[in-house]
Amino acid sequence: MATRRPAGDSEDALSPMTTRALILGCAGRTLSSEEAAFFRDVAPWGFILFKRNIGTPEEVRTLTDALRATVGRADAPILIDQEGGRVQRMGPPHWPAYPAGRRLGGLDDSAAAIARLGARLMAHDLASVGINVDCAPVLDVPVAGAHDVIGDRAYATTPARVAEIGRAVAEGLMAGGVLPVMKHIPGHGRAGCDSHKGLPVVEADLASLTAQDFAPFRALADLPLAMSAHVVFTALDPERPATQSSVVIERVIRSAIGFDGLLMTDDLSMHALQGSFRDRTAACFAAGVDVGLHCNGDLDEMRGVAEGAPALAGDARRRAESALARLPARMAAFDVGEARARFAAALSLAA
């Protein structure tokens, strides 16, 4: 299946098996022949799994191996949203249920240590089935009256506490061989609607945004990966969501926050974005994102996304390689059974 190259890309830039600046999903627990052929042709940088893709541990490991085989890269990133609480793609009966972010942030002075331990356990669960990137921590700071799409996913309502717990989660994941993705940069906490269903417009002034929304991301700007917010900030760009705004990406994410890691979009299929999939994807790259993310596994949509996405090159490639280089070559010894018992006891005592 041939895929049309984005305008301006040379034949050489997107030759067969040249890595495309994309992360894509698949429809089920196994790859169809059509999906496998598409991924071989497009060669996305990575993949993302959802609950629809999760069966037994053996089935998940078989799927992650099959996805990597299509692009011929053993280190190809495979992502998942494993936050805990209501956003947990892998859960019982094969994996434990983890607490929501709000519960972690509401613990006593041991909260950071408990959050770090929980994230280390999550990393063990993920790495054991071939997943090496977790879309966490959530660094959004919710405000009163905002939509609950963030809600209890947030660690706290103050930037300092969000940053403290977010740092612990990131450290726990990386200690277990899983890269963290901080989200949703530069902040989704004030959104008045769910960006899966519509486009949130935030009218807060820049001083308020800087002091609250942007602060946790600035504190964790050294992390390797971040996911953008499909949110309009009228104080910066009243016309475009952050994902498609060069003003927000250059002035805030890259400069004020100081993030020089790999910037991926939130899901390109969300209703916060408008236009054809080719056009909405191209607009994100024109604004300065490094990698596009499409999650729902719809092949027709992915074909449009692929038409709007360039090869992974330049600064985007540098950032992608730098992120993968953060994966530890070896991990310290870890007693999973003892750690699970200690984590459960800590939560029980806190309760």
List active site positions. Answer: 196, 266
* 19 to 6, 33, 290: CA distances (angstroms): 14, 20, 13
The Cα–Cα gap between 111 and 105 comes to 6
- From the number of C-beta atoms within 10 Å of its C-beta (0-12, 13-18, 19+), residue 341 rates as exposed
| Strand 262-267 versus strand 232-233 pairing type | unpaired
The Cα–Cα gap between 198 and 292 comes to 19
The Cα–Cα gap between 319 and 264 comes to 11
| Size of the chain, expressed as the number of residues it contains | 351
Tell me which residue of 223, 215, 128 sits closest to 180, measured CA to CA.
223
Cβ pair 233, 209 in contact under 8 A: yes
The Cα–Cα gap between 214 and 208 comes to 9
Angle at 209 between CA 256 and CA 135, to 5 degrees: 75
Coil, helix or strand at residue 180: strand
Angle at 81 between CA 283 and CA 28, to 5 degrees: 85
Token output for 320: 């992608």
Tell me which residue of 233, 162, 226 sits closest to 195, measured CA to CA.
233
Tell me which residue of 82, 51, 266 sits closest to 169, measured CA to CA.
82
The Cα–Cα gap between 36 and 325 comes to 27
CA 55 from chain center: how many Å? 21
In this structure, how many other beta carbons lie within 10 angstroms of the beta carbon of residue 65?
Answer: 13
